[in-house]
Chains A and B, each alone.
Chain A
Amino acid sequence: MAEATAADVHVITEKGRSPVEPSTGSQPAVQPEGPRVQIPRHEVREGLMGLPAMGPGNRSVTEGVRPSETVVLKSEVVTGLQDFAIAYAQKLIDMQGLEVMVGGNKVNAYDAMKRQQSALGISYLEDEALLASFTEDNNGKRQLKSPDQVREIISSHPQMMENIMVVAERYARDTLAALGLRAQMQRPGSRTDLRDVAEIIDFPTDQGKVREVLNRLSDALRKRESSGGRIGPRTSLRAAIEDLEPIAAGGAAFGGVSGLIVGGALGSFPGAIAGALKGATAGAAGGTTLGATVGRTFREGPRLILTKDQDIAGEAARAGEDLRAKYLLDVDPIHPERSTAAGDAKNEAVGIIMLRWEYMANLGVPRERMDALSIDFLNNPDGIRPEESRLKLQNEIFHRFEANGGMAGGLTPTQRRDIYRNSQQEAIMGRFGDYFRERQREGRDRGQLLADAITARGEGGTALRSRISGAEEEQQKLQADKASLEGNGQSVAGYRGKVKEVETAKSDLSELVSRTVVPGAAAFASAEDAIGAIERTISDTGGPANITIFLDGRSHNIGNIAQREQAADAAFVSEQTRIAGLPPKAQDKAIEAANNMYERRMRPIHEDSQKLDQAILKIKELSQRAKALEEHALASPEVTAGAKITEDIAAAETTLTGWGIPQTTIDAGDYAAILAAVNTQNAANPANGWPESEDRVAENRLMVRRAIVQARAREAERNDAALGPMEADFNTVHARGITVEQLTILNLDELERRNVAAGAPVAGARAEAERAQAWAKGKLKYLEDSIKEENSRIQTAESAQARIIRNVDMATEIAQLTMVKEIYDNRGRVKSKAAEAYFLSDQRAVLEDVGHVTAGREGYTAAEQASNLPRNVLEVLNILTDYQNAADRNGAFQQIWKNLGSNPDLLMTRLENAFGVRSRDIDAFARRLRNQLRTRATAGSDFGRTVGENAVNEFTEWGLSIST
């Protein structure tokens, strides 16, 4: 085995770069096979602020050994993490190229897994982050980078390794869960509930044995060996783990061992013996004698207990977990006994648990504090405390778990575990984000980045533009929605206009007909009847004795023309007979008088006759007009287009409900809520709806708007007291094939005829058609109103976006970034001031003062007093910003305090991260700082580096996070 050389040790500086440094000191007894990684201790462990001051058992104090500034991850741990990451990423890539059946549809395995996870609410966003880190595009195909490249990425950044360890831990936990198991470490000397125990595995402290297992884990991950999971040809990993398993002391301890777990404790009995003999005869590294193997059964070392757990088995079988289990973990959680790779999967999980065990030991966590997996505290029915590793990432996960309500009362274990799993994901995603941002910034001066960020937020700057562009984009979408709906509204209005035209002509006609009256007779049923009556009044002595017509704006009552003519003729004939009896000299005058009389009698009769002719003409004119309009309207573009739009609007609602969107959701009319419901349906079944990324598509947006309009219009009409009851008649007549256009345009006679022809019972067909017609016409009105209302709401939303655009405030961010840039640019001064504050006795007294300041005393101002910050915290702020030397000290502090949100939270987070502590509040932090300084638990170098470097870095990183 090659000796460790300079190239074998990676040293990671605080900036994440990895200059190679030679290892120092004598060669270690166990030769590393690959690179070790050295990490500054404070990057991964909490508690930078010096040594704990108290504690008789404190080795550091009594032996004068300060914790080393660095921790070292041994080569087998680094290699294990690297191999896991490569295997995991490759598995994801394989899933992306795999098609599987889900719900009867062929879908991409990876996409389907992501949709299911999203629907269940358990996210594995780290999958995307790992793919982004470790893969590259090769002619449109995703491909893993070279193993060397991946290893370099992982080992050159401590955050990446921490994240990989959590991803691996999640992988191990999920694998065991899919097998229906949970893990737990049994502490030496402690009692453990052995009911439902499936397997007990000794965890050795012998480094050779550990290395053996981890190396075999690496082999298995690289080659992904599979022996079919049955007892028979063994994988080297399986063999290594079986070598650790204790020999069954008795059946009772393993009651409940089921055939689900292949290579179980009893099954491994011959294997353990064989392995021990092999070790004894071959003298392999880490080999054991039989006696030692048996003896191990009774040893006091920690043991990994795998226990069956029905709750966990049920969790893992949920829809949303099963695809990941089947295709990533190689275990079918519903039928684990059918999973051919179950045994290998289990051994891999055990190997990862051991990897984690070693990883934590390398980071300085005492073994007695380690659990098998960090989630164990939520599995154990006795409710043990969370693992006390004092690792920063682990603590962050637990803080998030608490903040996400994981410790709230009344939750089931499954609910708590789900919250924990999501908290893990949040924490590592935050760090992936930091990692990506740092990669982007590598090689770029942070001061320049801050300066660029400030410029980008100024007038015309890119950041300002992009902040506005979100609102502008939303505004444009809303404007497009409004334009589309307005277009729809105009079509409906055009349709209604045409209907009105036909109605007007018909009603004018029917009014005229209704005003044509024969006294004592029934009203005329039609224009033809009225014309017939008038004609008979003109020419038929047997016709109506008189008739009232409506002409030139008034009624005229006219006697029967034929009768009157007849009477006038008869009078004239009678007069002529009398004249014949007169002397000839008197006849001429008499004849002239009789002629005059006849003319006088006939004149009004002729006038009346003309009036009746005009009345007939008028009625004929209106009748022809109404008929022509009716015929023309059905084919007119206004009616055709309008009818199509009303159908499309109705179809939008039907489509959405057909996809499973609840009617109540549509009725509520909340646009965003309906969009979200569509996305949810699409996540469950890709054939329905569309994903969130397609919410911006105009057609999709219009569909939702239309559905809202339709639902609102229908509800309004239903609530109309007169029209509401007529909906049923409309549905019946419409279902017979009579279209909405026909209902709205055609006259009742025609509708009645068509209704009967379509199958309606004759009696009642007319009344039914009339009601259906009323509903159809009402529908148009309510639809037009509903469109107007929706447009009004869109207008309101658009105005809100316009306000956002007007009010985008970059000033706050500019001020924050400016403050951070000044801290960064003046970091030399910060170091000087930090040293002065610590070493100079009079200034040191301020650092130990936790009281609150009073304006006017010792130079403190009103703003400083108002902040209520303890004096030593103000001093730390002063070291960073030198605000106390500003010309306007009060104004300078006010601006700083405003930049920090005018409350201690933001400042607390920065200081906590810099100092590596967690405090209840700012006053508790201040007291801790005082105590650490008084007892000299925090030495000068600690304080100088903490404030001069860590705190500057913290603020700089905060500024850079604002700027991205």
Chain B
Amino acid sequence: MKNFDIKTIINFLPFPSDFKLDLLERYESMGPDEKARTTDLIWEAFYLVYDIKIRENFDKLLAEVDEKGEKPDEKFYGKVVEKTDKEIEDALTNSSESVDLTEARKSMEMIIKEINASKVSPKN
């Protein structure tokens, strides 16, 4: 999907699934002040993750350049950023469909049913 609304960003972030679910559910019903603060924090988290990815890619690409016995030129950092940007774009636009609450609930219901069913073992 080609939009970077807050839900897309929440999905993208490496939070545990249940935390994401909880956050997504609560987000809609938050008051305006809490929503604004939460939005700020989510975006800050997003850009922190982005910065970490840049560093990871920097090390990776530097290692590749070293292996070839070359020196990084003045365009090196730009290439790192470009690679990272592409990954982010892909991750955000091509990622699996967003966590759909309805589907998630259905899956949870099914899981619970199966658990319960396995407990009720025919003794007799």
Contact = CB atoms under 8 A, between A and B. Distances in A.
Contact of A840 (B2, B47, B84): B2
A55 B77 contact: no
Interface in B17-72: 33, 35-36, 39-40, 43, 46-47, 50-51, 54, 58-59, 62, 71-72
Interface string A464-483: 00000000000000000000
A833 B84 CA distance: 19
B39 A939 contact: no
Nearest to B3: A836
A940 B47 contact: yes
Contact of B77 (A61, A445, A831): A61
Contacts, number: 84
Contacts of B51: 941
A833, A937, A944: most-surrounded residue (chain B CB, <10 A): A944
Interface string A822-850: 00000110011101101111000000000
B88 A828 contact: no
A62 interface: yes
Contacts of A937: 77-78
A841 B76 CA distance: 20
Contacts of A941: 47, 50-51, 54
A832 B46 CA distance: 11
Given A61-B76, A939-B54, A940-B85, A831 B2 contact: no
Interface in B75-124: 75-82, 84-85, 88-89, 92-93
A668 interface: no
Interface centre among A62, A64, A838, A948 (most CB of B within 10 A): A64
Contact of A51 (B4, B46, B77): B77
Contact of B43 (A51, A61, A936, A944): A944
A53 interface: yes
B72 A62 contact: yes
Interface residues of A, number: 31
Contacts of A62: 71-72
Nearest to A60: B77
A507 interface: no
B13 interface: no
A64 to B, nearest CB: 5
Given A64-B77, A831-B39, A839-B4, A936 B85 contact: yes
Contacts of B92: 839
A936 B75 CA distance: 9
Nearest to B77: A61
A51 B85 CA distance: 17
B39 A828 contact: yes
Contacts of B71: 62
A608 to B, nearest CB: 114
Given A832-B6, A936-B81, A944 B47 contact: yes
B6 A828 contact: yes
A836 B84 CA distance: 15
A64 B81 CA distance: 12
A945 B47 contact: yes
A763 interface: no
A831 B39 CA distance: 9
Contact of A935 (B35, B62, B75): B75
B50 A940 contact: yes
A56 interface: yes
Contact of B74 (A54, A833, A939, A940): A54
Most buried by A among B2, B75, B89: B89
Interface of A: 51, 53-56, 58, 60-62, 64, 445, 827-828, 831-833, 835-836, 838-841, 935-937, 939-941, 944-945, 948
Given A836-B4, A840-B4, A840-B89, 8 more contacts: A51-B77, A53-B78, A64-B58, A64-B77, A828-B39, A835-B4, A836-B3, A936-B78
Return the 4 tightest CB-CB contacts between A and B, nearest first: A936-B81, A936-B78, A941-B47, A828-B39
10 contacts: A53-B78, A62-B71, A828-B36, A831-B43, A833-B4, A836-B2, A836-B3, A935-B78, A936-B80, A944-B43
